[in-house]
Amino acid sequence: MDFRGEFIAFAVDAGVLRFGEFKTKAGRLSPYFFNAGLFNDGASLGRLSEFYARAILASGIPCDVLFGPAYKGIPLVAGTAIALAQKGHNLPYCFNRKEAKDHGEGGTLIGAPLSGNVLIIDDVISAGTSVRESVELIRAAGATPRGVVIALDRMERGQGALSAVQEVQQSYGMPVVAVATLDDLFAFLGDRPELAQNLQAVARYREQYGIKP
């Protein structure tokens, strides 16, 4: 099993990826729910960060600095930086605060200066708001946003024919790297007889809302 399949298995075992019937923000009834906020202890955050590091290295995208958008991106970017350093790739990282600070170091950015090629580390892409704000911050600092790394790509249409991930790729001309995708989830379910009933539900959902290949 490659790291993508390993990640899906890890997310299921951790209760982060669940099956049933869940209403999405768009009002759709989804047969699965992924909540990266439930990677909420040291061991699970460490493993999650390891998967992010493996996805980044596999992507081959040039990177000088990692950036984590507040708030969910903050522990993710710190953990990913640690995991990459343990693999021999010691990269600086930076994150933002939502509110500008007028004392101490001031400003909205904390950590290493943003320069060169920057990778944005986030949990998922839904509306793309976090990515847009991150791109603006990075460009304002004179650096170049080179890509976004997320945990799971649902490969699901937004309001039009494109998914939120595809819209980000099209709008900013940069890749979105997912540790795993809906296709990886589908393959995982196909290998687990005890989860066969969920495979059929996910297949129906993908047929109705999935992006066209």
* Percent of the chain with pLDDT strictly greater than 90: 82
Q: Is 87 a catalytic residue?
A: no
Query: Whose structure tokens read 């000088």?
Result: 64
Question: What pLDDT does residue 102 have?
Answer: 58
- Write down the architecture of domain 3-209 according to CATH: 3-Layer(aba) Sandwich (3.40)
Q: Which of 25, 98, 103, 212 is catalytic?
A: 103
The pTM score is: 0.93
pLDDT tens figures, 23-64: 988 889 999 999 999 999 999 999 999 999 999 999 999 999
Question: What pLDDT does residue 61 have?
Answer: 96
- Domains of the chain, by residue range, sit at 3-209
The 10 Å Cβ neighbour count of residue 91 is 17
Query: At residue 195, does pLDDT exceed 70?
Result: yes
d(CA 2, CA 209): 26
Q: Is 101 a catalytic residue?
A: yes
pLDDT tens figures, 140-182: 999 999 999 999 999 999 878 899 999 999 999 999 999 999 9
Coil, strand or helix at 22:
strand
**How far, in Å, are 54, 127, 132, 199 from residue 6 at the CA level?**
11, 27, 30, 18
